[in-house]
């Protein structure tokens, strides 16, 4: 794999790419991730002879067409919201894992950088071996009964909600996906369900028109309950799971305890948005799978400072 370079002296991004390719080849990585938004030349890269790893192009802004010459090339699009370097790595990894691009125990190399700069960071990691990345080993398949598009859609919405808030104010949220019949057995409405009585096609999370609706109802206490096929069952739902999840990391409160408990009691996946710092967390089988941190606020941001988390 080689980057385009029209000058005698290679660009820093081209040098970083060559180094990432070398690391992937020499260490037996199963995949090479490249954050494409930082360098125009990277979009047209093709694998070199004998290179068997998968190439995963990550983008938040660019429209990238999947090349036809390679069966080992994948495109992963993430929401256009501020993420830290590790937040970007974690989110891309979770999405790739949910889509079957990555498997538990597979090593990979990730080439990324900071917004407004160039490619400057190379990471080599293994899925499931580092808690801060993705705890998937000995877990059920992440989307075993949930459409992959639904999981990614809710994760994108949660990340956007964490970054942008609602009407300039930070919000917290809890989304519970899948196994909705069992979830319903341990839940009750705190308010009248705003989705009750609507046709299923008008409460489909995959519909782009639902963005503002979700943002509006995020101000309600309680959880969003979503079927595995993407139909929203309710908002403002109070959950009373019979089992407790694993011990929570220090500093996490009731919303996160509920997410852990409901996923321990049912075959659901929960995604939480922390009101205090905008961190998005994914829960499965009573366990925190991964957490995706929001980038620090820039000067002039309209979002207020941290509040006590719920």
- 147-205 pLDDT, tens digit per residue, is 888 998 999 999 999 888 777 778 889 999 999 999 999 999 988 999 998 999 999 99
112 shares a domain with 178:
no
117 shares a domain with 157:
no
pLDDT score, position 143:
55
121 shares a domain with 156:
no
Domain assignment of residue 111, yes or no: yes
pLDDT score, position 304:
38
Domain extent for 26:
12-126
299 pLDDT above the threshold of 80: no
Cβ distance 245 to 261 under 8 Å? Answer: yes
Domain assignment of residue 299, yes or no: no
- What number of H helices and E strands is found in the chain? 6, 12
Domain assignment of residue 235, yes or no: yes
CA-to-CA dists, residue 98 to 94, 118, 178, 257, angstroms: 6, 28, 14, 23
Task: Determine how β-strand 31-35 pairs with β-strand 187-189.
Answer: unpaired
Domain boundary among 78, 93, 126: 126
Report, as an integer, the average pLDDT of 96-113: 87
Domain boundary among 126, 157, 175: 126
- 32-61 pLDDT, tens digit per residue, is 999 988 776 665 565 566 667 888 989 888
Q: What is the DSSP string of 44-107?
A: G--PPTT--SEEEEEESS---PPPSS-TTEEEEE--SS-B-HHHHHHHHHHHHHHTTSS-TT-E
280 shares a domain with 160:
yes
N- to C-terminal Cα separation, the chain: 48
Domain assignment of residue 309, yes or no: no
Q: Domain of 113: which CATH number?
A: 3.40.1380.20
Q: What is the mean pLDDT of the chain?
A: 80
pTM value? Answer: 0.78
Span of 64-73, 76-85, 104-113, 230-239 with lowest mean pLDDT: 64-73
283 shares a domain with 214:
yes
What's the domain count of the chain? 2
Domain assignment of residue 303, yes or no: no
Domain assignment of residue 238, yes or no: yes
pLDDT score, position 116:
67
């Amino acid at each position: 794999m080689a980057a385009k370079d029209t000058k005698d002296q290679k660009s820093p991004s081209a040098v970083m790419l060559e180094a990432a390719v070398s690391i992937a080849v020499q260490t037996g990585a199963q995949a090479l991730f490249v954050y494409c938004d930082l360098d125009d030349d990277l979009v047209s890269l093709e694998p070199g002879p004998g290179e068997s790893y998968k190439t995963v192009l990550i983008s938040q802004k660019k429209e990238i067409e999947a090349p036809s010459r390679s069966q080992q090339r994948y495109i992963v699009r993430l929401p256009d919201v501020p993420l830290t370097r590790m937040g970007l790595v974690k989110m891309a990894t979770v999405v790739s894992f949910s889509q079957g691009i990555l498997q538990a125990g597979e090593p990979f190399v990730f080439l990324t950088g900071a917004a407004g700069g160039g490619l400057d960071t190379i990471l080599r990691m293994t899925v499931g071996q580092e808690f801060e990345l993705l705890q998937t080993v000995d877990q059920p398949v992440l989307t075993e009964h949930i459409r992959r598009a639904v999981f990614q859609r809710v994760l994108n919405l949660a990340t956007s909600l964490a970054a942008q808030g609602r009407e300039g104010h930070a919000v917290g949220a809890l989304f519970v996906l899948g196994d909705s019949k069992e979830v319903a057995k341990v839940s009750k409405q705190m308010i009248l369900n705003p989705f009750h009585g609507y046709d299923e096609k008008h409460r489909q999370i995959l519909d782009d028109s639902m963005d503002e609706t979700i943002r509006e109802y995020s101000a309600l206490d309680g959880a969003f309950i979503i079927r595995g096929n993407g139909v929203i069952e309710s908002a403002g739902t109070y959950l009373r799971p019979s089992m407790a999840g694993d011990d929570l990391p220090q500093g996490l409160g009731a919303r996160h305890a509920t997410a852990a408990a409901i996923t321990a009691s049912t075959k659901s996946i929960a995604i939480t948005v922390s009101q205090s710092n905008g961190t998005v967390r994914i829960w499965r089988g009573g366990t925190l799978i991964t957490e995706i941190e929001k980038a620090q606020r820039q000067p002039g941001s309209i979002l207020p400072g941290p509040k006590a988390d719920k």
